[in-house]
Amino acid sequence: MTLRQLFLRFALLVTCTVPCLAGDDGATILTPLPPNAPFQVPLPIPPTLQPTSSDETTDYYDVTMQVGQVEILPGKLTTIWGYNGRYPGPTIVAHRGRRAVVRQTNNLPESMSVHLHGGHTPPESDGLPLDLIGPGAMKTYTYPNNQEAATLWYHDHAVDATGRHAYMGLAGFYILHDEYEESLPLPRGENDVALAVQDRIFDYSGALVYPLTDTTIRTGVYGDRLLVNGAPQPYFQVARQKMRFRILNGSNTRQYIFALSNGDPLVQIATDGGLLGAPVSRPSITVTSGERIEVVIDFAQYPLGTSVILKNLDTTGTPVIADVMRFDVVREADSPDESYVPKKLRPMERISPKEATVNRTFTLQQTLYKGRQIWTINGQLYDPTRVDARPKLNETEIWTFVNNSGQSHPMHIHDIHWQIIDVNGVPPEPGDDGWKDTFNVPVGGGVVRVIGTFTDNLGGYVTHCHKLEHEDHAMMFNFAVEP
């Protein structure tokens, strides 16, 4: 039996630390808690993590992965696994050109790996799936922060267990600023708010339920409750002024189509890799697992007492959850609002396909393996000993993802950011044409072409589907950047 087969067998047979629903794998029978009425609790804001020390070039942080007891559902305590025992974890705020060194201590009963999603990071600090921190051990991650300002996030990435670990709460924001972004007149400070949108299932005691079955390995896990920053469909009281929202789809599988209940457009200013070239006014924005967007909403246009709901128009997830959170306009701005969205954001040059020296194709499908239909890339299970691509440093490549399955796949490429060339032969819509690290490949023969240049870092990385149950069950491959 190969090393990969051992990991896969472990993933299929492991006894969950959290309860499981009944399924075709014979898991324990539990009845999910019925949905709650929305807009009953205020939006929590995760605290900003303060450095334990700093010097001329570097900020140093300490984080402990540990069990926590938190009130997610009103009147009930839920056991979570969290960074510093919080859900979501504390937000790390960094600045381009200043290193962040984060020492992660694992006080949980399973091995962990911390991935900075969207970070341009050396392999030894990337949080690769087999670069594990055992129980009671620690690892120091060094983030150079030599990339443009962007909304990043950190989460567990342990081989074959990412979905369950992230579901238990191991995720947090990593906000990177730079001088150019800070020179723009965008909303800032308390008017710059990060929103982690995730779905979960709870039982009657308030415990998290992670239903890993043969069925959910194929479909992904869909929750029946929608959480924003760890609160169920909260409300957020705002002033009559502009606000910037950094929205993360931190769900294991669920896709969202965000829109405002009053029909007003969302003004998008950024995507995974940072600011767009210009703002885009969009009636709705689709965000798949792992993707981030940034939008500005001008609440000054609404009279006091107005409520606007952030909606989810997507109906493909089961159960359908339409309401994300509610904004309540309750006060005038404390001071004149001088922020605005400029017509131009960050200059961005498109990479010409003619610059590419290599074209690679990756086919996404299900493959029969020992009587099971397993998610694969190019017909192969993930094998930690196999390298499927060897790009050269400073060279530009085109990667084509072909989806020969009945489900969409948000593909996440570690190390660098990319530009979408086209989706099914059509150039990306404005708002999807920025720097990205996660790309949704549509169903039924959908084809996405992306282009990127491998800079700075040598060594091994992974690419995988960011439907976490797919990632955990073999939909991943290794690549190595070589001189």
Strands of 225-228's sheet in order across: 231-232, 225-228, 192-200, 242-249, 292-298, 266-271, 274-282
Domain assignment present for residue 27? The answer is no
Among 139, 168, 183, residue at a domain's last position? 183
Mean pLDDT, to the nearest integer, of 247-260?
A: 98
Residues 302 and 234 in one domain: yes
Among 281, 300, 332, residue at a domain's last position? 332
Residues 215 and 175 in one domain: no
Domain assignment present for residue 33? The answer is no
pLDDT band at residue 443 using 50, 70 and 90 as cut-offs: very high
Among 169, 271, 159, 162, smallest CA distance to 220 is for 162
Domain assignment present for residue 337? The answer is no
- Please state whether the predicted TM-score (pTM) of the whole model is above 0.75: yes
Domain assignment present for residue 347? The answer is no
Residues 176 and 193 in one domain: no
pLDDT at 274 over 50: yes
Give the rounded distance of the alpha carbon of 113 from its chain centre: 15
Mean pLDDT, to the nearest integer, of 205-213?
A: 94
pLDDT of 29 reads 41
Domain assignment present for residue 301? The answer is yes
Residues 73 and 130 in one domain: yes
pLDDT band at residue 12 using 50, 70 and 90 as cut-offs: very low
Residues 212 and 196 in one domain: yes
Residues 264 and 149 in one domain: no
pLDDT tens for each residue of 124-167: 999 999 999 999 999 999 999 999 999 999 999 999 999 999 99
Q: Count structural domains, the chain.
A: 3
CA distances from 363 to 90, 246, 366, 446, 469 (A): 37, 32, 10, 10, 18
Among 303, 332, 361, residue at a domain's last position? 332
pLDDT of 27 reads 40
Residues 159 and 48 in one domain: yes
Residues 270 and 193 in one domain: yes
pLDDT band at residue 53 using 50, 70 and 90 as cut-offs: very high
- C-beta separation of 80 from 169 below 8 A: yes
CATH of the domain at 411: 2.60.40.420
Residues 79 and 148 in one domain: yes
Residues 322 and 357 in one domain: no
Domain assignment present for residue 438? The answer is yes
pLDDT band at residue 444 using 50, 70 and 90 as cut-offs: confident
Residues 141 and 174 in one domain: yes
Domain, as residue range, for 328: 189-332
Domain assignment present for residue 98? The answer is yes
pLDDT at 219 over 50: yes
- C-beta separation of 172 from 165 below 8 A: no
Residues 175 and 206 in one domain: no
pLDDT band at residue 373 using 50, 70 and 90 as cut-offs: confident
